[in-house]
């Protein structure tokens, strides 16, 4: 599948609302998103602004997913990656993660590292992080409240360093550095 990444235009608000409301997002803050929420997000500049860029992941004329890059004025941006359910498990997430990593490091020379966080039970994303050179740096116990208001999941943080990306290596954290 030939994937492309096209910058989101705020005038595409209806298309964005249709995309986000037509699927479920089980590993995001809200698994189901309604159109009113998307309109609020658009009004707040959540998808396009000085510190945020969003890209459609497309194959031909079809939107398969969405990449939202945030905190672009910082040396450590984060991202939101969403793949439509019918396209999950086909390697699109890995392609998108590799693309966004290269894009961020090429476009923003001040970026030293890129961070991503997912739920502990999102094993597909965790494998994708590792395949793309990201290293587990954090485990947040009970760090991800579910939308149901009662369930809490562990969250796991990964990152890639610019120097590791450039050299194709991985630098592991010093896990055994607790003071006596």
Q: Which residues pair with 136 in a beta bridge?
A: 158
Residue percentage of the chain with pLDDT more than 70: 100
Q: Give the per-residue pLDDT at 145.
A: 87
Q: What's the confidence (pLDDT) of residue 162? A: 98
Q: What is the pLDDT of residues 153-168, one digit of tens each?
A: 999 999 999 999 999 9
Q: What are phi and psi of 42, to 5 degrees?
A: -60, -45
- Which H helix or E strand runs over 125? helix 123-131
Domain spans, the chain: 4-167
Residue 180 in tokens? 């006596």
Per-residue pLDDT at 28: 80
Please state the rounded mean pLDDT for residues 125-136: 97
Rounded distance between C-alpha atoms, residue 166 and residue 179, angstroms: 32
Question: Which helix H or strand E contains 37, and what residues bound it?
Answer: helix 35-43
> How is residue 67 written in tokens?
């990449």
pLDDT digits (tens, 9 = 90+) for 70-98: 999 999 999 999 999 999 999 999 999 99
Residue 77, Cβ density class (10 Å: 0-12 exposed, 13-18 middle, ≥19 buried): buried
- In this predicted structure, what is the pLDDT of residue 88? 94
pLDDT recorded at residue 30: 74
Task: Give Dmax (Cα) for the chain.
Answer: 58
pLDDT digits (tens, 9 = 90+) for 94-125: 999 999 999 999 999 999 999 999 999 999 99
Q: What is the pLDDT of residue 27?
A: 83
Give me the residue label for tokens 């360093």: 161
The conformational region for residue 82 under phi > 0 = left, psi -120 to 50 = alpha, else beta, is beta
Which one is the CATH code of 4-167: 3.40.630.30, 3.30.450.70, 3.40.50.1000, 3.90.950.10?
Answer: 3.40.630.30
Q: What is the pLDDT of residue 180?
A: 83
Say if strands 78-83 and 113-119 run parallel, antiparallel, or are unpaired.
Answer: unpaired
pTM of the complete model beyond 0.75: yes
pLDDT tier, 26 (very low <50, low <70, confident <90, very high otherwise): confident
Q: How far apart are CA 153 and CA 134, in angstroms?
A: 21
As beta bridge partners, residue 79 has: 69
């Amino acid at each position: 599948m030939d994937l492309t990444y096209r910058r989101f235009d705020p005038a595409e608000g209806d298309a964005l609302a249709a995309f986000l409301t037509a699927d479920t997002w089980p590993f995001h803050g809200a698994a189901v998103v309604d159109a009113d929420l998307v309109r609020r997000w658009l009004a707040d500049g959540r998808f396009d602004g000085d510190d945020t860029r969003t890209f459609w992941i497309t194959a031909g004329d079809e939107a398969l997913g969405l990449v939202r890059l945030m905190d672009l004025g910082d040396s450590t941006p984060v991202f939101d990656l969403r793949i439509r359910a019918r396209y999950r498990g086909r390697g699109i997430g890995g392609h998108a993660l590799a693309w966004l990593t290269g894009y961020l490091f090429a476009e923003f020379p001040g970026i030293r590292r890129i961070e991503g966080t997912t739920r502990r039970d999102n094993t597909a994303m965790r494998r994708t992080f590792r395949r793309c050179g990201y290293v587990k740096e954090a485990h947040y116990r009970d760090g991800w409240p579910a939308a149901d208001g009662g369930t809490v999941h562990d969250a796991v943080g990964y990152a890639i360093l610019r120097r590791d990306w450039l050299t194709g290596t991985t630098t592991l954290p010093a896990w055994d550095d607790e003071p006596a």
